[in-house]
Chain A
Amino acid sequence: MNGPLLKRTWRSYAFRLAIVCLALAGWGSVLPIVYSQFGAAFRDMIESGILPEAMTNFGGGDVFSLSGSIALGFIHPIAIILLSVFAVGFTTGAFAGERQRGTLEILLARPISRRRSYLTILVSVFGFLGLALAAYLVGSVVSASLFDVVGEIDTTRLPLVWANGLLMFGSIATIALAASVSFDRLGPALGITLAILLVAYFFEILGTLWPDAAFLQPYSLFHYLQTRDILNGQADPFAFALLGTIIVVTIVYALIVFPRRDLAAPS
């Protein structure tokens, strides 16, 4: 790791981090309120048969339990877009973006190895994601406490939820970093990462809404975001192992490929 690069990265992203954390804390507080105020009404509606049963489960979340509503908030596009500011935007811009702008030139002309610069950015993105996910969970717990429903979940399992979220969004971040170190322009790195993210999201949501497409779910990263299961005491170690493996493989790829690449003059 490189101290000055780490310091500058955190300083230049401090404002964005604060905004994303506040937004996620706010978003995290919304679904427990919806659950506490309208959960019973939704349950009655489902039980009456007005809505198809498939609608009771959206990406592993629902609004009929506190654990389900926290899980729903996690996989909702709002949370994914906010977390993608770091998992996709920051990571793809870190190398491919800087190559395109020509500023990587001035950084790598210093006595800092490519591996070290990569590891510094990696540590930063995990730090950003860790804080953002913690903000979401804090918002959820505070909101649930205020509406007197926090007793419905075992709060000692929240660190495991946080770790699972960090591994999931961390795997997207390391895929994005692998793309970032592989290209000289932002477009391809961003395009590949977004394609993986959107396809994975589509597979997971389609699988939860349409039973015939459930076979697609294991091919989605989002399938291994197991917030509700963890809060219900049913954590699957395989999900952690798989996400951890993806992170390790993409990090190893980047650590091998980036130092070996020829960084020709920016055009």
Chain B
Amino acid sequence: MDAIETVGLTKYYGRKPPPIHPPFLHPAGIVRALEDLTISVREGEIFGFLGPNGAGKSTMIRLLLGFIHPTGGKGRVLGLDIVRDSVAIRSRIGYLPGGIALYDSMTGVSLLDYLAELTGHAPVRRAELCDRLELSTRTLRRPVRDYSRGMRQKIGIVQALQHDPPLAILDEPTEGLDPLMQRAFYSMLDDLKAAGRTIFFSSHVLSEVERVCDRVAIIRRGWLVALEEVAKLLDRRKRNVEMRLSGPPPRLEGVPGVSGLAVADGRVTLHLEGDMGPFLRAIQGAPITDLTIEPAHLEEAFLEYYADADPGATEDGESSRPVVPSPPPAAAAR
């Protein structure tokens, strides 16, 4: 069984504007937040959900949690229907909202107790999580209003995971965490994965998605444009190669995977894609004094999917995206 499965999930906000309206009224019309999204998140994987602000990430999460109702399509979380069984779904998951807001008048520990009580499960992992995120007992006894942004985020992470849910849905989980805490968080994710838990991870920090996720989905303006394993996505990316030579350059024209070849002043630069074997054989015996092969990064893949996007679409919020002739999902989506 998949932890999350959606088929043609679609969400529009608003209504069709009336054909005649006073000039001072500017009806927003229908806003397409998510269009025909079909994905499946396997049990036990860390799944990254990527997209810039306003792409539809939060809409997807809110559909899964039953905060908003789909315009079309279906979805299941842990085998339960997202429309009919939303309360049952929420009893079995952990959720960290993006930009979490907490009850300021409560202390950290009373807030965690209260949220655990509402969830109906014992906070079996709280001590371990607090320890790893360096939330001391003394800190937890202070009112939440005194907490810094990072400490609030740590409380958010603990409340989402303290009852050891089989599925955690985390929206921008490392927002506000310092690099040391980010590292501690990644290590916690690794442990959760090893324990068979599923993590659905929304982010626009590409380096962390690359670091922790098994598979990623990339959405653009509500459309799914890619769904692939991170390793495969990176394999297909072009690596930048730079060589310094003390003699004549090797013949690289026509070598499979090599493109963008440039030779100047004993320096060769090129792009390398796919299997490195033919390239390594071609440079064997060449008078190389220095060789740099930059690893491919998710950022390049991500930017490629967004290269032809409307610039406004990457910056604006959902409300600024009225229905326009829809861009078809990229051929890469599968």
Residues of chain A at the chain B interface (Cβ within 8 Å): 2, 4-5, 8, 12, 101-103, 105-113, 260, 262-267
Contacts and interface: CB of A to CB of B under 8 A. Distances in A.
Interface string B132-169: 00000000000000000000000000010000000000
Interface in B81-101: 87-88, 90-91, 95, 97-101
A109 B65 contact: yes
Nearest to A265: B58
B98 A265 contact: yes
A16 to B, nearest CB: 12
B115 interface: yes
B97 A109 contact: yes
B159 A262 contact: no
B103 A111 contact: no
Contact of B118 (A4, A12, A102, A264): A4
A2 B87 CA distance: 13
A260 B83 CA distance: 11
B289 interface: no
Nearest to B99: A102
B67 A103 contact: no
Question: Which of A106, A113, A260 lies at the interface centre, i.e. has the most chain B CB atoms within 10 A of its CB?
Answer: A106
A107 B67 contact: no
B119 interface: yes
A67 B69 CA distance: 53
A39 B247 CA distance: 116
Given A110-B119, A111-B90, A112-B87, A266 B101 contact: yes
Contacts of B59: 264-265
A264 to B, nearest CB: 6
Nearest to A12: B105
29 contacts: A12-B105, A102-B100, A103-B103, A105-B97, A106-B101, A106-B102, A106-B115, A107-B118, A108-B90, A110-B90, A110-B91, A110-B119, A111-B118, A112-B90, A112-B118, A113-B87, A260-B69, A262-B67, A262-B68, A262-B69, A263-B62, A263-B67, A263-B68, A264-B62, A264-B68, A265-B58, A265-B59, A265-B98, A267-B317
A265 B62 contact: yes
A110 B115 contact: yes
Contacts of B118: 2, 4-5, 107, 110-112
A262 B15 CA distance: 13
The 6 A-B residue pairs whose C-beta atoms are closest, nearest first, are: A102-B101, A111-B91, A110-B118, A262-B68, A4-B117, A109-B95
A264 B319 CA distance: 11
A263 B67 CA distance: 5
Contacts of B87: 111-113
Contact of B97 (A106, A264, A267): A106
Contacts of A260: 69
A12 B110 CA distance: 12
Interface residues of B, number: 30
Contacts of A108: 65, 67, 90
Contacts of B279: none
A211 B78 CA distance: 67
B13 A106 contact: no
Nearest to A8: B114
Interface string B11-29: 0010000000000000000
B88 A111 contact: yes
Contacts of B13: 262, 264
B55 to A, nearest CB: 13
A267 B13 CA distance: 15
Given A8-B114, A108-B65, 6 more contacts: A106-B101, A110-B91, A110-B118, A110-B119, A111-B118, A265-B98
A12 B69 CA distance: 32
Contacts of A110: 90-91, 115, 118-119
Contacts of A262: 13, 67-69
A55 B68 CA distance: 55
Q: Identify which of B67, B88, B95, B118 gathers the most chain A CB atoms within 10 Å of its CB.
A: B118
A110 B95 CA distance: 9
B295 interface: no
A111 B114 contact: no
Contacts of A8: 114
A220 to B, nearest CB: 34
A98 B159 CA distance: 18
A184 to B, nearest CB: 12
Contacts of B58: 265
Nearest to B61: A265
A10 B214 CA distance: 45
A24 to B, nearest CB: 24
B120 interface: yes
A105 B101 contact: yes
Nearest to A108: B67
A111 B101 CA distance: 18
A107 to B, nearest CB: 7
Nearest to B94: A109
A106 B101 CA distance: 8
Nearest to A262: B68
Nearest to A103: B101
A101 B67 CA distance: 16
Contacts of A111: 87-88, 90-91, 118-120
Interface string B94-131: 01011111110100000000110111100000000000
A103 B105 CA distance: 12
A265 B317 CA distance: 11
